[in-house]
Structure 1
């Protein structure tokens, strides 16, 4: 399977983080956007994002996912690309067997995500700091994405907002906006998810039936923030140990709180 086998479509979970309140002000529009899969966007969407000022894409997907679809339309545009996978593979992140055997798929998935977010924040701290450094030092707007724009993208968004001094309720509110798009996300990622599941030997019909029962929950993000508050005097400590320093924080704040550089009006 290649990008040629995947129907290109418009992102359904893309949003500018502009307007989110942080310490000292609000994030400016055109600093950073988060999204579901940008490797499978239409040519028109790619053109629109570039026209709106996107100059850098951070791809958080695993190597297996990028093998399937690569960079997509952004591979033919003057956009810097950084592959910073937060997980080795979807298979190692989620226990698909446990999900298949669970009586309540949604409850079982939520429990796994609650553990996965904290594990990702701690064990992928170096990757998170690398992504933050790209955001801090790239010209123009930076777009970061995984497949659905929920889990890996959600953890990076939370890390960025923590660095900028956002309140926990604000971080959860940003994460919760993905819930409004859950049905559309599920439909959009199906052409990629199915071959991935097949690689793992999953029963595609059973997986589809289970996914249909899934209901979005804020609990995984709340659990991450609660775990950090409980386990660390400073929630940024795992990131500081991985290289987050005062200079990087200052540069992120300068970029985030500066004047507008773009408007997200033509991407869709």
Structure 2
């Protein structure tokens, strides 16, 4: 992979958490199966060592090609960890909310629905990686909120978690939003400049107010309204019962 497009200042993730302990069908999700996080491409080497030492076997990078080109893989590239780039948004400049609405929780919910319906194949691949990796899988985007939240929701749905618990996990990111924005500011600015856009004019202030729950509740509600089964788009893209069974065998802690 080519070198990062900017000089990165390595820092610890500010939105990293293990999904262990969430209620799923048959028990709770065991720790060290799946970790969700903000961008670990520029995590410190110490963080990389800690993750690998704790059993990290695979990384699922949900970022777009432009984002990957900006930061590369970082210190984790030095370790024997499988890497999978599965973009849920191929072109972030085209997918950015436009107009007066800007970045609202409602706009995010509509974007999440679009990801599930139009990037179902990538989500199915991600679930198979989690199901069959020999250790822990970490998945991330930039903030660890939106694309990461969608994959977390699909994993939890496949494992039989309730909508309430899926929303609760998603909403935990709210307390980290200011730290996420501060950590990502240099990287996002560089990426937007490379795309010919001025990141300073992108208004994300509304994401710091109100309830984050709205976005995930909207996505789950719309999936049920449109498809009945919220996993229907993934099933149509190849998600089989064998994968769900394998996930359950690995995940359930009674």
Which residue number in structure 1 is paired with residue 204 of structure 2? Answer: 211
Cα gap change, 1:25 to 1:7, in 2 (>3 Å): same
Which residue number in structure 1 is paired with residue 143 of structure 2? Answer: 148
1:221 aligns with 2:213: no
State the Cα distance separating 1:258 from its structure 2 match: 5.2
Contact 2:104/2:206 (<8 A) preserved: no
Provide Cα deviations, 1:128-173, integer angstroms capped at 9, x if missing partner: 0000000000001000000000000000000000000000000000
Root-mean-square deviation (CA), in Å? 1.7
Which residue number in structure 2 is paired with residue 197 of structure 1? Answer: 192
State the Cα distance separating 1:212 from its structure 2 match: 4.3
Contact 1:228/1:235 (<8 A) preserved: yes
Which residue number in structure 2 is paired with residue 41 of structure 1? Answer: 43
Q: Secondary structure at the match of 1:5?
A: coil
Larger RCO of the pair (alpha carbons < 8 Å, separation 6+): 1
TM-score w.r.t. structure 2 length? 0.93
Name stretches of at least 5 consecutive residues in structure 1 with no aligned partner: 260-268
Contact 1:62/1:90 (<8 A) preserved: yes
Cα gap change, 1:201 to 1:140, in 2 (>3 Å): same
Cα distance in 1 for partners of 2:106, 2:96 equals: 10
1:118 aligns with 2:120: no
Name stretches of at least 5 consecutive residues in structure 2 with no aligned partner: none
1:1-268 matched pairs, under 5 angstroms: 2=4, 5-95=7-97, 97-98=98-99, 102=100, 105=102, 108-207=103-202, 210-212=203-205, 214-215=207-208, 217-257=212-252
Provide Cα deviations, 1:170-210, integer angstroms capped at 9, x if missing partner: 00000000001000000011111001221333334333xx3
Cα distance in 2 for partners of 1:183, 1:70 equals: 24
TM-score w.r.t. structure 1 length? 0.89
State the Cα distance separating 1:93 from its structure 2 match: 1.6
